[in-house]
Chains A and B, each alone.
Chain A
Amino acid sequence: MTDKAAEEKRLARVWARPRGWGYFSDVNNSVVGLWYIAAAFAFMLFGGALALIIRLQLAVPDNGLVSAETYNQLFTLHGTVMMFLFAVPIFEAVAILILPAMLGARDLPFPRLSAFGFWCFLIGGVFVCGSIFFNAAPDAGWFMYPPLSTEQSGIGADIWLLGLSFIEVASIAAAVELIVGVLKCRAPGMHINLTPPYGWYVLVVGAMILFAFPPLIAGDFLFELERAFDWPFFDVTRGGDPLLWQHLFWIFGHPEVYIIFLPAIALLAMIIPTFAQRPIAGYSWIVLSAIGTGFLSFGLWVHHMFTTGLPSISLGFFSAASEAVAIPTGIQLFVFIATVMLGNVVRTVPMLFCLGALATFIVGGLTGVMIAVAPFDFQVHDTYFIVAHLHYTLIGGMLFPVMAGVRYYYPFATGKLLSRKLGIWSFWLSFIGFNVAFLPMHLTGLLGMPRRVFTYGAERGWDTLNMISTIGAFVLAAGFLLFVWDCVRPKRGQAYAPRNVWNAGTLEWVGKVPADDYGLRSIPQINSRYPLWDDKDLLATIDEGRGLLAHAREGRRETLVTSVLDAEPVQVLRVGTPTWLPMLAAIGLGGTFIFPVWKLWWLTLGSGLFFLAVLLYWLWTGTGEIPEKQSKDIGDGRRVPLYVAGPRSTGWWAMFITMTGDLTAFLAVLFGYFFFWTIHTDFPPVGVDGPGWQWPLMAGGLTLATWTVTLGARFANAAGQVVLSRILLGAGLLGAAASGLALMAGPWTTGLDPTSHAYPAIVWGLVVWVVLHLMAGIIMQAYCLARSVFNRLTPTHDADLWNVTLYWHFTGFCALLTALVIGGFPLLQ
């Protein structure tokens, strides 16, 4: 056997997917991505079925098909499922599947994290969806506005809050994975200006998730404290305000629309150039618009709150920002139109979906510009006009592009082509059905039909339009079902598609058909944006193993880590292998979120401890491993290290990104404090003198000390003073515990009762938030101490300590800020 054949065989063995039941312990992106996509589509079908019941109920006036209570659950769950269980996860699912191949990596940097995210998503999704079968689904709208959702009976709101907080863990895990993937795992030579547009969008959307989702997590945290322990954040009678929830929800909710839209547009940015058979026109323009949209979309949240009685000037600012976001969005669309016009378009089914998407989205975008004008919004707020607008943007901006993407990437994922005939049928049924269903809703809305009513009187004159919408909805459903059938129908007898079936130019299409588990045979040097079109030797270089990392000599799964801007190889990263740990961790964490719904605190605690144990075992055995040698030959005469620490390592980046999100969540809770200050003339209220300044001052000092000794431990360790480093870590443990106690002592000793008023509640809320983080910090310090004692952390292999110190930069800052605010701000009043 030749060397090359042996290399190939070893690669295949190292990357082989587990068989039998073990298949579900796999963590490779190509497998987890498929599971993710399948699960997201299953939830989508469920959400669609709910929508059909809604449409049946509204088909005729005074209909009694479902009761008002059931109807409330139906529309709440429909919105929730489509947003949280389909639209966002499908982005992560598709990205996990295709991104490594597109960037020329063997896998994403943290495959086990991807798998963990998937299991969290699946467990949380089944939990939330399953509630409707027990008549316990949330029923206050997908935005869960209090007081409707706080004062109603039942556990629906808890299921929503806890279930979705849990699912957001999956979103953030995927965001971390994808950002680090795009920044650090591109093939050598793939400078940032050569990154496929999809990579740029993933980067922008990943960053948006970090700033958009945490405020909702903070909101969920406050909301659940109110529901479970009666802390009155949203109760007006005790100093709270429901508008706080609306702010936190929409700071998440509006960017979320773009978090959904941009990845779908990213698919168009990959598909359209292929079928136009030319590079995308205006590459830098599309990057500009992705980044611009990402930023501006955060300035739009109050446009969901135009009718809540905010001052006109606030509405003015947000109306202006809402109009401004049309500029970068428009640029994106013109780039696509220009690409189509400059190229020779190949007529294919994915292209048909792309064009349908553009046409539909433009209608939704135009009505969006109308609604951004505050007085028009006053008129149509909470009518079916809004329902029509949002479905045009989401279906045109997300569903059709995703359907185009699924059809386009189907041969990439499975090796088989979908049926052209079924595709054309499914497109026209979906496209016509969609327009028949939603175009009349603009009129229904203008005629005054409110959203979320379960029935209406015949005298209103809305019946014909509603009947048309219902018929359209069923035609759309038929088109979608045809699409699903095409994807799942057995294809054993069908021949494999040719390699690079669409004659695309980007790297994900170099794979063989059927695909090898290890992806690329070897990692090539990239010199252009569409290497398959520009480099005629590329396929041969890859297939003959003349690229980098063509072997797995040590029997380990490895991928190449490169520098952020110029993609110079900096490390060979050993990535996770199949294991049940991510699934077990997800089960443990799931219990921690699910048991509190029924206030089963002991089970919650048990689940939490189980999660922690699994997590520690996972980290101990699977991360920060000291390699058997310092560097390794990756081919082409290059040697790169196997172990790096600090900002050069992927782990540090992951921690940095996670902590950015965490800091955002903290700032959202802190925003609550100052929000209450703005709405109250006396804050703290008269007669409340906690938490005083003494204990917070002490807590702040202790936090600073802890922070310093943790940093000192890193320096001491790097200088070879291992004993001193351990002593400092031990001191850090005590310091963290003491600062937590001091922080709690303030409100405790001054008798602040969190159930009495929003002020003590928000003070306690901040304290609880920080104390939980200090506890996590203690566990991390203890972990490093143990690693050091067992020689898994040495002066030259100190990645864990770098990451923990980074955690402490953020946590120390949050604790200090909390101490200053709760102790110092009342003194200023």
Chain B
Amino acid sequence: MSAKRAHNEVERETGHGTDLWRVIAAPIIWAGHFLFCYVYAAIYCEKAGRSASLDHPTTVVIVATLVALAGIGWSTHHIWRVRARSLTDHDFEYEHNTPEERHRFLSHVALMLCVLSAVAVLYVTIPMLYLGTCQ
């Protein structure tokens, strides 16, 4: 969240504005994690041969997963206040014409994308826990 305010931005009840980048931060972390795991395992298996054990990559992928989840958690933490604010007035439609409402809407979308991204990151990690070799 940028500390600098736009000239037309109203005083927010829930903090400063959320922008589009904040919304896609969690999916970008998912994409980074996914690409890293795939590329790392692909290169490892290509270079080490098909009978190579996956012990080492498993550790790497688990560490990468923890890093990715930490990143998503960090992103979630930043929008958590807005969520609390949204829950208290029981309005999930975000249909008012104010910068504050836009801010809460984007935060809501961002928060749900954090959940989706975290689930998707965990999904990607699961196969690594079950496979033993590059076969």
**B134–A311 contact, CB under 8 A?**
yes
B108 CB-CB contact with A under 8 Å: yes
Q: Chain B 106-119, CB within 8 Å of chain A: the 1/0 string? A: 10110011001101
- How far apart are the CA atoms of A287 and B20 in the complex, in Å? 12
CB nearest neighbor in B for A679: B46
B131 CB-CB contact with A under 8 Å: yes
CB contact under 8 A between A566 and B102, given known A295-B30, A314-B41: yes
**A327–B113 contact, CB under 8 A?**
no
**A193–B102 contact, CB under 8 A?**
yes
B36: shortest Cβ distance to chain A, in Å? 11
**B112–A321 contact, CB under 8 A?**
no
- How far apart are the CA atoms of A328 and B113 in the complex, in Å? 10
**A283–B94 contact, CB under 8 A?**
yes
CB-contacts of B26-45 with A (<8 A): 27-28, 30-31, 34, 37-38, 41-43, 45
A602 CB-CB contact with B under 8 Å: no
- How far apart are the CA atoms of A586 and B127 in the complex, in Å? 48
- How far apart are the CA atoms of A292 and B109 in the complex, in Å? 10
**A320–B17 contact, CB under 8 A?**
no
**A191–B101 contact, CB under 8 A?**
yes
- How far apart are the CA atoms of A115 and B132 in the complex, in Å? 55
Count, A-B residue pairs, CB within 8 A = 136
Choose one: B19, B92, B134; the contact of A284 (CB below 8 Å). Answer: B92
CB nearest neighbor in A for B120: A324
Give 18 new A-B contacts, CB below 8 A, not counting A191-B101, A194-B97, A316-B127.
A192-B106, A193-B101, A193-B105, A283-B94, A284-B94, A284-B105, A288-B109, A296-B27, A299-B120, A299-B124, A310-B42, A311-B42, A311-B135, A317-B127, A323-B123, A324-B124, A527-B97, A565-B102
- A and B contact pairs by CB, cutoff 8 A, 9 listed: A193-B105, A194-B95, A285-B112, A288-B112, A312-B135, A316-B128, A324-B123, A565-B17, A678-B47
**B95–A283 contact, CB under 8 A?**
yes
**A317–B97 contact, CB under 8 A?**
no
B54 CB-CB contact with A under 8 Å: yes
How many residues of A are in contact with the other chain, CB < 8 A?
Answer: 45
**A191–B112 contact, CB under 8 A?**
no
- How far apart are the CA atoms of A328 and B26 in the complex, in Å? 14
CB-contacts of A670-697 with B (<8 A): 678-679
Choose one: A191, A284, A311, A318; the contact of B109 (CB below 8 Å). Answer: A284
B126 CB-CB contact with A under 8 Å: yes
A308: shortest Cβ distance to chain B, in Å? 12
A232 CB-CB contact with B under 8 Å: no
- Which of A296, A323, A568 counts the most chain B CB atoms within 10 A? A296
B72: shortest Cβ distance to chain A, in Å? 13
CB contact under 8 A between A528 and B135, given known A292-B116, A313-B54, A327-B116: no
Q: Chain A 557-580, CB within 8 Å of chain B: the 1/0 string? A: 000000011101000000000000
B29: shortest Cβ distance to chain A, in Å? 10
- How far apart are the CA atoms of A528 and B57 in the complex, in Å? 51
A291 CB-CB contact with B under 8 Å: yes
Choose one: A299, A328, A566, A679; the contact of B34 (CB below 8 Å). Answer: A299
CB contact under 8 A between A291 and B113, given known A191-B99, A193-B102, A321-B120: yes
**A312–B131 contact, CB under 8 A?**
yes
B50 CB-CB contact with A under 8 Å: yes
**A292–B97 contact, CB under 8 A?**
no
CB-contacts of A299-313 with B (<8 A): 299, 302, 310-313
Chain A residues in 8 Å Cβ range of B112: 284-285, 288
- How far apart are the CA atoms of A194 and B98 in the complex, in Å? 10
Chain A residues in 8 Å Cβ range of B131: 312-313, 316
Q: Which 6 A-B pairs have the closest CB atoms?
A: A316-B127, A193-B105, A295-B27, A320-B123, A311-B45, A324-B120
**B38–A193 contact, CB under 8 A?**
no
- How far apart are the CA atoms of A316 and B133 in the complex, in Å? 12
**A313–B57 contact, CB under 8 A?**
yes
- How far apart are the CA atoms of A192 and B27 in the complex, in Å? 19
**A288–B106 contact, CB under 8 A?**
no
CB-contacts of A622-674 with B (<8 A): none
- How far apart are the CA atoms of A189 and B128 in the complex, in Å? 49
A358 CB-CB contact with B under 8 Å: no
CB-contacts of B65-87 with A (<8 A): none
B79: shortest Cβ distance to chain A, in Å? 13
A91 CB-CB contact with B under 8 Å: no
**B42–A678 contact, CB under 8 A?**
yes
A73 CB-CB contact with B under 8 Å: no
A98: shortest Cβ distance to chain B, in Å? 22
A28 CB-CB contact with B under 8 Å: no
B113: shortest Cβ distance to chain A, in Å? 6
B8 CB-CB contact with A under 8 Å: yes
**B97–A291 contact, CB under 8 A?**
no
CB-contacts of A510-528 with B (<8 A): 526-528
